[in-house]
Amino acid sequence: MGAARRPEHASMIRPRFPSVLATAVLVAVATLGRPASARAQRIPIRGAGTVGETLLRRVPVPQGRPNVLVVLTDDQRPDGVGFEGNSSLRTPNLDRFAAEGARLRNFYVATPQCCPSRAALLTGRYGHQRGNGVTSNLANDPEHTAPGITFFGLPVSDLATGTPTIATDLNRAGYVTGFVGKAHLGGDPRLWDFRDVPVWIPKLGAPHEGATLMVNGTPEVLPGLTNQILVDAAADWMERHRSDRWFLWLATTAPHDPLRHDPRFPYALPDIAPPPLWPEGLPLTEGFDWTGYYSTISMLDDDLGRLFARMRDLGLDRNTVVFFLSDNGQMAGSHGPEDDVASKSVWFEESARVPAVVRWPGVIPAGSVVGSPMVSVDVTATIRSLAGLPRDPGTEGVDMLPALVGRPPLRRVAYAEIWDALHEIWKWQLVREGDWKYVAFESGQELLYDLATDPDEMDDLSARPEFAGTLDRLRGRLAQWRTATP
């Protein structure tokens, strides 16, 4: 580890907050990382197109509107799947799924933290926008406070009562809307306009066994593993609605901690090679539970394999668009110890970017790879388009379908952000354009990375005079985005 360079930004990423709040906040975002520095994989950007385009490119699709399934995992690194080049991680079902659809190599979440990431996906709006307002896990005003739920004595975020969501839109479009799994925001998914909610987790998380679940609105402890229960409930939901046009949101608890060393999927640390985003030549950090993390992901892969098989058996796979993504990544010790950086909520690729695949047999070319940048709010915009709804004028998200079928994408600049008043390094906004990555902090500090020459994000170029023009251009992009997303 001694050979690793200390990043030029290291002096600015050490938090200063009281020990009690430090414990509460670090637990609240499930920090799992330990010391190490990380190597961000270079992913090329291709294609053209602008966010502001209003003439949507027409894509031929089958007659009738498709079903839509969103599979949202929890704390999954962008290289936390075999199909992203992780040779040590066994995910045969997700690898097969990715081979049947389009892999999104530069997919960012609107905010890399649990509550605000989900709120952005539900509303299609970034946390700072009207119609969302959730900027961190911890609520900053009464309107966005989950009723009756606290975490270490601190209020938990939720959408304000009556906030329209993608479920609101699809109900109007004639879809049957359903939710299964981890809500996390703290509210009841039925309050977000999901109509059929058979099983959901009433708290922020759940153990792998013996979890108290809400079953048709009643708290129950069901036998079996939590993620298996959720996946089976989702499969049963699809069978029940197989003759309907439906939209289902399945949110798993895995691979968020607590991790499970599943005896069916054993791993030994000596057999785990550094994942693609790890710094070359450096060993894995010993403080992070890699064997538990990988075992939990393999368990999740097995569960999702059963779900996809059930869809095929029901004849639903060919007319169902499946979106697979995570709410945020997982640093696992990258770029410093957990007390400096935490396991997510930061701007590094391992945190802000996640694995993502979209599958629609017969429409999206199997085995394709999309390199243009995308943001989770684009998923919401795409689902609206699939349902035949007009573009929401209050959102910045764009229809992903042109890019997914090999046409010029409608987005060429990605944005992300977080605002958490209890942690100075969790007040930033990010711009990704081409190989450039720009980060602006509420404090006025800035970071500039060239991911082509510095995939590790170790060298901040913001003070270099030869990059002043690039810095000004990206500042302008950020200013335009802020104006366009009130």
pLDDT one-digit tens code per residue, 408-454: 999 999 999 999 877 777 899 999 999 999 999 999 999 999 999 98
From the list 334, 317, 216, 197, the residue with the least C-alpha distance to 275 is 334
| Phi, psi dihedrals of residue 431, rounded to the nearest 5° | -125, 130
Give the range among 41-55, 240-254, 296-310, 385-399 with minimum mean pLDDT: 41-55
Entry pTM: 0.89
* Alpha helices (H) along 179-279: 226-240
Instruction: Establish if 121 belongs to a structural domain.
Output: yes
User: Could you report the per-residue pLDDT of 51-70, keeping only the tens digit for each?
Assistant: 323 323 345 555 689 999 99
Q: By residue range, what is the domain housing residue 275?
A: 40-49+64-412
Q: Binning pLDDT at 50, 70 and 90, where does residue 48 land? A: very low
Instruction: Establish if 477 belongs to a structural domain.
Output: no
User: Could you report the per-residue pLDDT of 273-300, keeping only the tens digit for each?
Assistant: 999 988 777 778 778 999 999 999 999 9
Q: Binning pLDDT at 50, 70 and 90, where does residue 469 land? A: very high
pLDDT at position 138 is 87
pLDDT at position 349 is 95
| Dist. CA 431–CA 52, nearest whole Å | 16
Instruction: Establish if 213 belongs to a structural domain.
Output: yes
Contact partners, residue 210, CB within 8 Å, separation at least 6: 221
Measuring CA to CA, how many Å separate 20 from each of 23, 24, 188, 231? 5, 6, 29, 37
pLDDT at position 401 is 97
From the list 23, 103, 36, the residue with the least C-alpha distance to 283 is 36
One-letter amino acid of 347: W
Instruction: Establish if 6 belongs to a structural domain.
Output: no
Percent of the chain at pLDDT > 90 equals: 73
Instruction: Establish if 466 belongs to a structural domain.
Output: no
From the list 139, 185, 151, 150, the residue with the least C-alpha distance to 165 is 185
User: The domain spanning residue 262 has which CATH number?
Assistant: 3.40.720.10
pLDDT at position 28 is 32
* DSSP-based three-state secondary structure for 147: strand
Instruction: Establish if 423 belongs to a structural domain.
Output: no
Domain count, the chain: 1
One-letter amino acid of 412: R
**Is residue 41 over pLDDT 80?**
no
User: Could you report the per-residue pLDDT of 233-270, keeping only the tens digit for each?
Assistant: 999 999 999 999 999 999 999 999 999 999 999 999 99
Between residues 475 and 145, which one has the greater pLDDT? 475
Instruction: Establish if 199 belongs to a structural domain.
Output: yes
| Dist. CA 483–CA 89, nearest whole Å | 42
Instruction: Establish if 7 belongs to a structural domain.
Output: no
